[in-house]
Structure 1
Amino acid sequence: MMKKYAPFFYFAACFFLMNSCAKPFDAPPANDTLTLNANTTIRQLKLLHVKNNFERITDDLIVSGIVIANDQSGNWYKQIIIQDETGGITVRMDGNNLFNNYPVGRKIAVKAKGLYLGDYGGVIQLGAGIDNSDPNNPSLIPLPTSLFDKYVLKGSLNNQVIPRLVNINTLSANLQDTLQSTLIQLADVEFAVNELDKTYADAVGKQAANLTIKNCSGNSIILRTSGYADFASNKIPAGNGNLVAVFAIFGTTKQLLIRDTSDVHFQNARCGNSTVSKISIAAVRNSYKGTAYTYQEDKFINGIVISDATAGNISENEVILQEDSNMPGILLQLNTGHGFKMGDSVTVQLNQAMLTKENNIL
């Protein structure tokens, strides 16, 4: 049984880089095992919720799922998202660095008895109670740190959730859309052309940003990024490709959230082979004719970082990219230090960037 509660209601200073990297973290203990089996599904649990209400769960319900998103990059705050074969749900948890104990890929079980269901903008959540400090806008209270181990049991690590390949038109703003809070993939999509000079969010003012993702048929959806995300200041990529994200809604607005920029694989030519197009690093090198050259074309290159500034064998404001192991790479000169690591995939927008040779290095 459950009780319902109605509410009271940003080579040279001109380069723009996009980083696709996975941030390191301390490995959590791997010896935790689940001692409880799920007796209901996430889908069944979510069906107990009515929009704008709060429901206290009084039955001994247990759901199990795999963590698909957490607070590691800063794009989520005090919450993790878990997914089973039937759906996904947000679990509000009043702690920082949750990713240390609840990394993506960890299986967990949630003992739901005594917890509450609610929703934020239509995204169904689990929490510890109801905050009525604002009678006109009640909200879920996150689970206190002291109760984490009582309600959230840690299981095996490195489990995989394969993103479901969907079309933009498949997604809806329905409260009970089974894709809500799950990992999805969109193919052949890109940022709208008017967005291409932007960053993912406002890292200085710590303001979130909504950017438009479009497919080649003109259908669109919002990509929302927190100003606190560690990739907020990164320039968005100009190409086309695949996007992995967690699907959410806010009111009637369908939106996507990425874990970090490794979820964005925009390395192909844009829809209709528009003027913003990819060229090879080899082509960039071949275009050098002995004098400095500033690009005016809307082109971009992709490459993998093969340098390591932390080893001290390269300046902290330099990065070496290589597109193919059989071809020479190119050196990027930045205006500041950076966080790029060996193996990161990087996209460089060339418009207004200067190609030159220093110490016989392009």
Structure 2
Amino acid sequence: ANDLYGEFHRTIVVEDASGGIAIAAEGSPLADLYPFGIVATVRCNGLTLCDYGGKIQLGTTPGDGGAGCIPREELARYIRTEPPGGETPSAQLLTFDAVSARHIDTRVRFDDVRFADAGKTWCDTDPETGRAVATEREIVDTRGRTFTVRTAATCVYAKEPLPQGTGSLYGIIDYFAGKYTLRVTNREAEFSGTAAHSAATRPTAGRPARTTRAGVTAATPPTAYP
């Protein structure tokens, strides 16, 4: 995941067979540096692992909001990229009850779901400022179970209406203080009652990164590890 649609501000998410991890980084747009599907080698010497709300992040010395961001001028020192080898990054198909710690910061897909708040926008609006605010909405599966979708205020479609009907939703599993949420990536919401945001309608450049050489198993360590 990256900031292609403002969904992950100052963050990229990388994934390999063992799991995924969010990396705090300066620079906008990061999607130009780390497009979706690029292969990344992350060199961790000099960086810090941070526990933020029970989720591990990678970056510099932690601040109030989790790991500090790697300065843009130092990104090449820690993250090296190469073109993908023809492999198309996939999203693991999950049901709500299957989500666990090993899925944190990995790309998943929920099928046959609908938004419980259809008719509302992705994000609420602050009545005083008129600005979008980070908002949680619920999706419902065919068995009536629910899962939370969290959308950042920086998302470019924050004030657009939620998809209508039933369909598939792609994203990264997030975690904070005992609660799992879905963070949508690449604006991938394919629903029967609304126009699908398919690969054909998205930019061909600047998409989230994955990696074949970085990953963690979620745990609850001390606040920071140099």
Q: TM-score, normalised by structure 2?
A: 0.79
Describe the shift of the 1:303–1:112 C-alpha distance in structure 2 as closer, same or farther (beyond 3 A).
closer
Q: Secondary structure at the match of 1:148?
A: helix
Q: Which amino acid aligns with 1:107?
A: V
Question: Does the 8 Å CA contact 1:107/1:159 hold for their aligned counterparts?
Answer: no
1:251 Cα deviation from its structure 2 partner: 1.1
Q: Bigger CA drift: 151-160 or 211-220?
A: 151-160
Q: Which amino acid aligns with 1:155?
A: E
Corresponding position: 1:197 with 2:119: yes
Match of 2:143 in 1: 217
Whole-angstrom distance in 1 between the partners of 2:191 and 2:159 = 18
Whole-angstrom distance in 2 between the partners of 1:74 and 1:190 = 23
1:139 Cα deviation from its structure 2 partner: 3.5
Q: Which amino acid aligns with 2:180?
A: K
Match of 2:50 in 1: 118
Question: Does the 8 Å CA contact 2:48/2:59 hold for their aligned counterparts?
Answer: yes
Q: Which amino acid aligns with 2:78?
A: Y
| Residue correspondence of structure 1 range 1-362 to structure 2 within 5 A | 69-131=1-63, 137=64, 139-157=66-84, 159-172=87-100, 177-192=101-116, 195-202=117-124, 204-261=130-187, 263-267=188-192, 300=193, 302=194, 344=201
Question: Does the 8 Å CA contact 2:21/2:57 hold for their aligned counterparts?
Answer: yes
Match of 1:65 in 2: none
Q: TM-score, normalised by structure 1?
A: 0.51
1:219 Cα deviation from its structure 2 partner: 1.3
1:130 Cα deviation from its structure 2 partner: 3.1
Describe the shift of the 1:228–1:116 C-alpha distance in structure 2 as closer, same or farther (beyond 3 A).
same
Q: Secondary structure at the match of 1:233?
A: coil
1:107-153: per-residue Cα shift (whole Å, max 9, x none)? 1101111211013222211012233xxxxx57421111221111111
Match of 1:335 in 2: none
Q: Which amino acid aligns with 1:187?
A: D
Higher relative contact order (CA 8 A, sep 6+): 2
What is the number of equivalent residue pairs in this alignment? 195
1:254-276: per-residue Cα shift (whole Å, max 9, x none)? 10011243x11121xxxxxxxxx
Whole-angstrom distance in 2 between the partners of 1:127 and 1:255 = 22
Describe the shift of the 1:241–1:142 C-alpha distance in structure 2 as closer, same or farther (beyond 3 A).
same
Describe the shift of the 1:241–1:109 C-alpha distance in structure 2 as closer, same or farther (beyond 3 A).
same
Structure number with greater Rg is 1
Question: Does the 8 Å CA contact 2:9/2:154 hold for their aligned counterparts?
Answer: no
Question: Does the 8 Å CA contact 1:231/1:260 hold for their aligned counterparts?
Answer: no
Percent identity at matched positions?
A: 26
Whole-angstrom distance in 2 between the partners of 1:142 and 1:117 = 12
